[in-house]
Amino acid sequence: MITKVANDRQGIQSVEVGFSLLKVIAANNRPMMLRDIARGAGMPAAKAHRYMVSFMRIGIVEQDPATGRYDLGAYALDLGLSGLGRLDPVRLSAPFLESLCEEIDETVALAVWGNHGATIVRIVDAGGPVTITLRPGTVLSLYRSATGRAFAAFYRSPYLKQLLDQELNAVAEEQKIAVTTLRRQYEKTLTEAHSHGLARTTGSLTPGINGFSAPVFDHTGNMVAALTSLGAMGDFNVDWDSAAAKAMRETAKALSGRLGYGIMPK
């Protein structure tokens, strides 16, 4: 008769024990002596050594012949990179958006860079008296929207530059000003976004609506999404040190961390 674990799923205890050794190595971020690995995992060194031998055979652990210290091997890196590559910012963003919406009591959204530009893919509506007319699939202005400004400030793409040039030329013609003047003004806006870690707008996309947008990065250090919050002017405080701004930065940082940002060497 097979004994089942508490959650009614069958498991192999030796695998779980072995991975406790790998967790110790990973947590210390440096090559380690066998005795220290064993101590960290709470097992005798002789038992830990048998696991190390097996791990070295499959390449998940390697040993420096000069020092005898153990470290994670090439296969561990392959597994880690493969796992990071499977992380989907849209799927993983759901609980972050829900939590942010509850915290700041404003409508929040996630946008990614699509074929036509900065595109809304997920929205959590705060249900306030002011209706935010955004829907999944909405493509946002690079010049007028906080989301577009976040991408312009932090995302790198030749296509983005092409779209931005087209939009700035159109706005300059509409406002009857020189495009060079408009570009200088816009570059100051992007510099401000860089210095504060997020972009903002005040009623320029939709009359009466303010917005913040913060970049979300993946394990490669590239921007993969923008986290955006929107609210009515007069109620939505767009000061850089406002509660909403702080919550935006913290949530974007947390989601970036979930996507592996900061774990790879620069």
Q: What per-residue confidence (pLDDT) applies to 132?
A: 63
- Whether 34 maps to a domain, the answer reads yes
Among 59, 84, 109, the domain-final residue is: 84
Domain that residue 20 falls in: 13-84
User: Are residues 199 and 157 located together in one domain of the fold?
Assistant: yes
pLDDT digits (tens, 9 = 90+) for 20-45: 898 898 888 789 999 999 999 999 99
Is 5 a domain residue? no
- Mean pLDDT over 147-165 rounds to 93
Q: Are residues 32 and 92 in the same domain?
A: no
Distance CA 134, CA 63 (A): 55
What is the pLDDT, as a whole number, of residue 6? 46
User: For residues 170 and 151, what is the distance between their CA atoms, to the nearest angstrom?
Assistant: 19
Identify the band that residue 186 occupies on the pLDDT scale cut at 50, 70 and 90.
very high
List the CATH number of the domain containing 63: 1.10.10.10
Residue 167 sits in the same domain as residue 40:
no
Is 91 domain-assigned? yes
Reported as a single tens digit per residue, the pLDDT across 87-134 is 578 888 999 999 999 999 999 999 999 878 898 988 998 876 555 667
Is residue 4, in this structure, part of any structural domain at all? Answer: no
Q: Give domain status of residue 232, yes or no.
A: yes
- Tally the domains of the chain: 2
Q: pLDDT category, 209, cuts 50, 70, 90?
A: confident
Is 92 found in the same domain as 39? no
Burial of 74 (0-12, 13-18, 19+ CB in 10 A): exposed
Residue type, 203: G
